[in-house]
Amino acid sequence: MSTEAMNGGELIVEHLVANLVPYAVGIPGHGIITFVDALIDRADEIGTIMVRHEQSAVHLADGYFRVAGTPLAVFTSVGPGAVNTLVGVATAMADSVPVVVLTGNCQSYFIEKGAIQDISFRQPNDFANMIRPVVKRSWSVMNAHEITDVMRRAFRTALSGRPGPVHVELTMDVQSAAVERPSTSLSSNDVLGKSYPDPSSIERAASAIVDARSPVLLVGGGVSLARAERELVGLATHLGIPVITTLTSKGVIPEDHPLNAYYTGPKGSTCGVKVVKRADVLVAVGFRFSEWASGSYKDGEVFSIPPQRIVQIDVDPNEIGKNYPVEVGVLGDAQPALEMLLARVQAMTAARDYERTEAFAELQTWRTEWENLVRAQTHEDDSMSMSRALADLREELPRNGIVLTSSGHTQGLVYQEFPIYEPRTHISAAGFSTMGWSLPAAIGAKLAAPDRPVVAIVGDGDFLMTCQELACAVQYEIPIVVCVMNNSGYLSIRDLQVALFGAERTLVTESSREDGTVVETDIAALAASFGAWSRRVTDPAELRQAYRDALACGRPAVVEVMTPREYSKAGNALGQWSEFPMPENRTPLDAR
């Protein structure tokens, strides 16, 4: 590379291009304007997407990475634009998604002097302290000559070990300052690689698994992030080990595979819980023993540790043994760890004829029982329900269609009831359960997989938090489909209020006036005002045709499904919270 002069904004763009970032996503403002100007000259190498809210920019980048495995850059101005990213960044951090967030700042010589939008209320230049808890690392660049060092470290930090978002703050004078183009490569790809585990830990793990009476594989998002599904299925089928998945790993083994044992926890499956209770060795791979997967950590609710023993594989040393003691800890990336483990297991024992075993027959019985329970939610009668809407959508989507969920009843019901057959075709804001995530994340997912259908499945409360991003999808002609289950309120929380305290003690969860009149948003009309295709469906017999038309229309589309509001019908009957602190002077409804 030559050493010709350039400005700081141009150098930052050079780093994005060198690291093969396909899009920069954000909203321009005076604090980032020189960087945005530099993007114009590299438009043939890096695209730009203008969102309508900075939180959505991070969600869009999040969805893109989960499908493509490539990080995007997010840019915002100083002050409120930067602050607006925090929910998106925290969501990415919770699910280990790398995003490079670039925020502008006022001139370095104006900090703490009263510059417009400067965050120096208690101490100078304080936005970095706001974002620091939800990123892997934050840098504030005050000298343009620091840009290359910081940007190299930012990409390496975001993508190495357990991935996650990083933040780089750039003052206006740093962006405009003259710098020399570096003579060395700006790419960080040459120093990034997989973390291989200690072979001795693999040996101990293999011995524990081969000698186990009834092992089970607990598979978390780390397997999906590592693209390790081939090795996972190889290990499972060699020994006949049932596989439990989570919100972030659903689909790493097809859900019609006979060794898929579904899920555990309060929004899990009867099959998964029975399989885990039968197990003597739990093989956790990229699985962090979260509250939902662990039944709120109640002994015997899901896990009984001890006497159950754990083999835990994770790229993050902080996760190994964090919630439960482990017998064997394996530190390393899930893909090489599973590859090495499978090779060692194959050397120790021949493939087992597991399909003839009593345990396998028992698993098939439990799978059938669970599938019948799900079917009962869907086909109780011919009335409209969220379960019916989901079942009909599954019929219209190909196996490789991508669905996204954020929160509430839609997140729980899709997890339990919506079969997924391929890796990274079920994408969910699992760790943060962030309302408003799915729509912008679906735009990112569709950019990553333009030849596959992408459907965001949300409630009306979720949709209304980021519905403005339909304007983004329309502007860039990104044909996502948004399926909105409209029941006029935050009814998953309303249902929790009813379950805990009684029907007479609900508040600020239903969209209704004091006299009980429902205030209903016409979401189909709202979508049409953005220029999207839309249709409201009240008759369940019309669902499949509406889905077909939405998927075929070739433009952003919204299917508004009017679902029941009654407590007993708003969700499903397939599991509730395992543990919830009650006020000492109150009694749960179930105990009255």
Question: Per-domain residue ranges for the chain?
Answer: 5-191, 199-366, 379-591
Two structure tokens written together for 280: 């003597």
DSSP state of 512: B
**Each residue of 394-411: b (16+ CB within 10 Å) or e?**
bebbeeebbbbbbbbbbb
Two structure tokens written together for 57: 């920019």
What is the rounded CA–CA span in Å between residue 317 and residue 279?
25
Determine the pLDDT at residue 40: 97
What is the rounded CA–CA span in Å between residue 526 and residue 521?
8
Determine the pLDDT at residue 1: 40
Long-range contacts of 376-379 (CB under 8 A, 24+ apart): 377/417, 377/572, 377/573, 377/574, 378/417
Q: Do domains 5-191 and 379-591 have the same CATH topology?
A: yes
Going through 392-473 in order, the beta strands assigned E by DSSP cover 402-405, 426-428, 454-459
Phi, psi (deg, nearest 5) at residue 52: -110, 0
Query: Is the bond preceding 133 in cis, omega lying within 30 degrees of 0?
Result: no
Residue pair 454/480 in contact by the 8 Å Cβ criterion = yes
Query: Is the bond preceding 307 in cis, omega lying within 30 degrees of 0?
Result: yes
DSSP character string of 193-241: ---PPPHHHHHHHHHHHHH-SSEEEEE-HHHHHTT-HHHHHHHHHHHT-
User: For the purposes of burial, counting CB atoms within 10 Å of the CB of 296, is it exposed (0-12), middle (13-18) or buried (19 or more)?
Assistant: middle
Determine the pLDDT at residue 193: 78
Residue pair 340/197 in contact by the 8 Å Cβ criterion = yes
Determine the pLDDT at residue 62: 98
What is the rounded CA–CA span in Å between residue 498 and residue 575?
15
Residue pair 19/186 in contact by the 8 Å Cβ criterion = yes
Determine the pLDDT at residue 3: 55
For domain 5-191, the CATH class is alpha beta
Residue pair 561/406 in contact by the 8 Å Cβ criterion = no
Q: Which of 490, 536, 489, 486 is nearest to 512 (CA)?
A: 489
Q: What is the pLDDT along the chain (592 residues), one digit of tens a residue?
A: 445 789 999 999 999 999 999 999 999 999 999 999 999 999 999 999 999 999 999 999 999 999 999 999 999 999 999 999 999 999 999 999 999 999 998 777 667 776 677 787 888 778 998 999 999 999 999 999 999 999 999 999 999 999 999 999 999 899 999 998 887 888 877 667 789 999 999 999 999 999 999 999 999 999 999 999 999 999 999 999 999 999 999 999 999 999 999 999 878 899 999 999 999 999 999 999 998 888 888 888 899 999 999 999 999 999 999 999 999 999 999 999 999 999 999 999 999 999 999 999 999 999 999 999 999 887 666 789 999 999 999 999 999 999 999 999 999 999 999 999 999 999 999 999 999 999 999 999 999 999 999 999 999 999 999 999 999 999 999 999 999 999 988 888 888 888 888 888 888 888 889 888 999 999 999 999 999 999 999 999 999 999 999 999 999 999 999 998 888 787 776 766 556 777 877 766 543 3
What is the rounded CA–CA span in Å between residue 445 and residue 528?
22
Superfamily of domain 379-591: Thiamin diphosphate (ThDP)-binding fold, Pyr/PP domains (3.40.50.970)
Q: Which of 108, 110, 117, 115 is nearest to 54 (CA)?
A: 117
CA atoms within 13 A of residue 238's CA, in its CB half-sphere: 22
- Compute the Cα dihedral for 580, 586, 591, 592 and give only its sign: negative
Residue pair 331/201 in contact by the 8 Å Cβ criterion = yes
Residue type, 346: Q
Residue pair 175/35 in contact by the 8 Å Cβ criterion = yes
Task: Give the H or E element holding residue 26.
Answer: strand 23-26
Residue pair 392/540 in contact by the 8 Å Cβ criterion = yes
What is the rounded CA–CA span in Å between residue 131 and residue 380?
48
Determine the pLDDT at residue 592: 38
For domain 199-366, the CATH class is alpha beta
What is the rounded CA–CA span in Å between residue 328 and residue 411?
33
**Each residue of 180-208: b (16+ CB within 10 Å) or e?**
eebeeebebeeeeeebebeeebbebbbeb
